[in-house]
Amino acid sequence: KKKVMDELTDLQVSLDAIGDFMIDTLGWIHLKSPPHSFGYDVSLPVPIGAEVTPEGLAHRAKMIVSKHKHIHDLIDALPGINRNEEEQLRVLAEMEEENARLGVEINDKVEEARRLKAEINSCLQELARDKISSLQ
C-alpha cells in the first residue's frame, strides 16, 4: 500500500512541476520576445541576445510533453482507475471497514502494552522492595 502513496506523491509532484514549467515557459516567452511580438506593448526591455529561438521553444515543448506523458502513465497506474463509480465506492467502503478493524486492533495492542508496562513496573517495584528489605 505504501507504493500507492509514492505514486500519488509522484503524481502530485509531477503536476506541480508541469504547472511551474508551463508558467516559467510562458514567462520566458513573454520576457524574451520582442515587445510587439504578441500585438501589444509590454514596455519591458529585451536583454541583448535573449530572443526566443525555435530550438529553445522546441526543447521546452519536449519537456512539457515528456512530463505530460509521465503524468498520464501515473494516472493510468493508479489502482482502480478503470473501475466505475459504483465499484470505486464499494472498494472505498471495504477499505474503510478494514481501516476501522485495524484501528480497533491497534487500540487493543496499545492497551495490552499499557497493561504489560504496568505489570512490569509493579514487578520492578516489588523486586526493589525485596532488595531493600534484604539489605536491612
pTM: 0.43
Q: How many other CB atoms are there within 10 angstroms of residue 14's CB atom?
A: 18
Buried/exposed code over 100-135 (b: 16+ C-beta within 10 A; e: otherwise): eeeeeeeeeeeeeeeeeeeeeeeeeeeeeeeeeeee
The whole-angstrom separation of Cα 35 and Cα 41 is: 6
Buried/exposed 53-72: b ≥16 CB within 10 Å, e otherwise? eeeeeeebeeeeeebeeebe
Output phi, psi for 78, to 5 deg: -65, 135
Q: In which residue are the cell numbers 516559467 written?
A: 24
Grid cell digits, residue 114: 499499557
pLDDT 10s per residue in the chain (136 long)? 445 557 778 888 888 888 887 777 777 777 666 555 555 555 544 444 455 677 877 887 888 888 888 888 888 887 777 788 888 889 889 999 999 999 999 999 999 999 999 999 999 999 999 999 988 8
